[in-house]
Amino acid sequence: MGRNARRGRSAAAAAVTLAAMFGTITPIAQRAVADPGDSPASVIQWNANAQAAIIGTAGQGPTVAYLHFAMVQGAVYDAVNAIEGGYQPYLGAPAMADPSDSVPAAVATAAHDVLVALFPGQVTTLDGQLATSLSTIPDGPAKTGGIEVGAAAAAAMLAERTNDGRFSAFTVVQGDEPGEWRSTAFTSTGAPVVEPAPWVGNVTPFLIPSAEALRSDGPRPLTSDAYARDLNEVKRLGSLTSTVRTDDQTEAAVFWQANGALLFNSIMRQLVTSQELDMAGAARMFAMGDMAGADGAISCWNDKYYWNFWRPITAIRLADTDGNPATVADPTWTPLFSGAPPLTTPAFPDHPAGHTCISGAVVETLKDFFGTDKVSFSAMSGLSGTTRGFDRFSEAIKEIIDARVWGGIHFRTADVQGHVIGRKVAHWLDRHYFAPLG
């Protein structure tokens, strides 16, 4: 496997600001042609624009970001598919669509209109991006028609997601009994970190029938041998002072702590080019990947607050209360991620692991989309400052599962069961959505 194409800073030096995590998003160059036709350039560009708006400017974490990527890319897909045809629509095909309409105009308008509705404070920037996109398309009926199709697809998506549970009230309950989660995340001033979006698990899914339908098997019983193995593994490998964790494992742990929505949308933009996707294929892949990620997040957060299981830092420090003779308490144990957020234990329950739920859904969906696991790609993390390459999709999700243990923030069971949830989301999508027609 071609991992570690470039080595960067140490884990300690990687404790950078969130701004560094989000990075600088460089727009894809606009094509100076009358109409790029079947080129996926406009789809790539507006995914990058969405990333800049959702993560770069709004600063949304992966769970909320995926909900909004899903809305943008779902509207883009329906707009493209309405004009080009060939696949099941997600919400439906705008009635005015005509095969002669400009697909780039439809893409730009659909993405722009959803983003403006989500982030009205960014309207000036987004209007400027729309004007730039439309300026490359000659005026006329095709351009007008494409704009109308894009606007209709965006309106349908916004109507569908009205009152869907986003930003709803949610009461976070912490416990003090063995196995019960209590937050250990604090700011540099000692104030507790508040979970930014516990409500995600109550959002209406985009694809699956319900979040509860994908309920995991749950954490290992505290007195079981399996639980002791999990605890002792993360205690040994995930400690800040571990002598058995390798430099590469440390780098991987920091690498994957970056915003997963940023990482995987960047990867999907790369795949459009490397796999030579056309306009329709690119729109379909982004919609599938981001909707799978959104439902992975919804299912995961619903499951997290159902089990409300403690994190390794609590479990190891209080191991003398778990009733398991195979675990030994270490009141001073500290995980690798013990610095400033995001390199710290997150302020929400352990089980299941959010990254493996969400990334698992995306990775398994990409495997289904391409019909193979063997696709090469790479990604750059603003946290580690390094690029890691993979020859197969499965290599990435395997490393994510391991990396959450290496960071000291998850039990392996939480990682593995998170991937199971993600895989179930992807399989449901594959059976019920985005199928070719005819």
Beta bridge partner(s), residue 378: 389
pTM, 2 dp: 0.91
The distance from CA 106 to its chain's CA centroid, rounded to whole angstroms, is 25
From CA 50, how far away is CA 287, in angstroms rounded? 13
| Residue that is written with structure tokens 């909707």 in the block | 291
Right CATH number for 37-162 from 3.30.460.80, 1.10.3210.10, 3.40.640.10, 1.20.144.10? 1.20.144.10
pLDDT in tens, 160-213: 999 999 999 999 999 999 999 999 876 667 777 778 899 999 999 999 999 999
Mean pLDDT (whole number) for 137-160:
98
Least confident of 30-39, 163-172, 227-236: 30-39
Topology at the third CATH level for domain 219-438: Vanadium-containing Chloroperoxidase; domain 2 (1.10.606)
Q: What is the DSSP string of 290-302?
A: HHHHHHHHHHHHH
The distance from CA 273 to its chain's CA centroid, rounded to whole angstroms, is 21
| Residue that is written with structure tokens 């390199």 in the block | 343
Q: What is the DSSP string of 121-139?
A: GGHHHHHHHHHHHHHTS-S
pLDDT in tens, 340-393: 888 999 999 999 999 999 999 999 999 999 999 999 999 999 999 999 999 999
Domain positions in the chain:
37-162, 219-438
What percentage of the chain's residues is helix, strand, coil (to nearest 5)? 55, 5, 40
Per-residue pLDDT for 5 more than 60? no
pLDDT of residue 188: 66
Per-residue pLDDT for 15 more than 60? no
Per-residue pLDDT for 26 more than 60? no
Could you give the 3-state DSSP secondary structure of residue 386?
strand
pLDDT in tens, 76-111: 999 999 999 999 999 998 888 999 999 999 999 999
Percent of the chain topping pLDDT 70: 91
From CA 273, how far away is CA 396, in angstroms rounded? 20
Return the axis-axis angle of helices 62-84 and 141-160, rounded to nearest 10°: 140
Could you give the 3-state DSSP secondary structure of residue 217?
coil
pLDDT of residue 37: 56
pLDDT of residue 438: 79
pLDDT of residue 19: 33
Percent of the chain topping pLDDT 90: 86
Per-residue pLDDT for 24 more than 70? no
pLDDT of residue 185: 77
User: Residue length, the chain?
Assistant: 438
Could you give the 3-state DSSP secondary structure of residue 380?
strand
Give me the amino acid identity at 239: S
Mean pLDDT (whole number) for 10-37:
34
pLDDT of residue 199: 98
Per-residue pLDDT for 412 more than 80? yes
Residue 358 neighbours by CB under 8 Å, 6+ apart: 62, 63, 66, 260, 261, 293, 296, 297, 300, 422
Mean pLDDT (whole number) for 268-296:
98
Per-residue pLDDT for 157 more than 50? yes
pLDDT of residue 20: 32
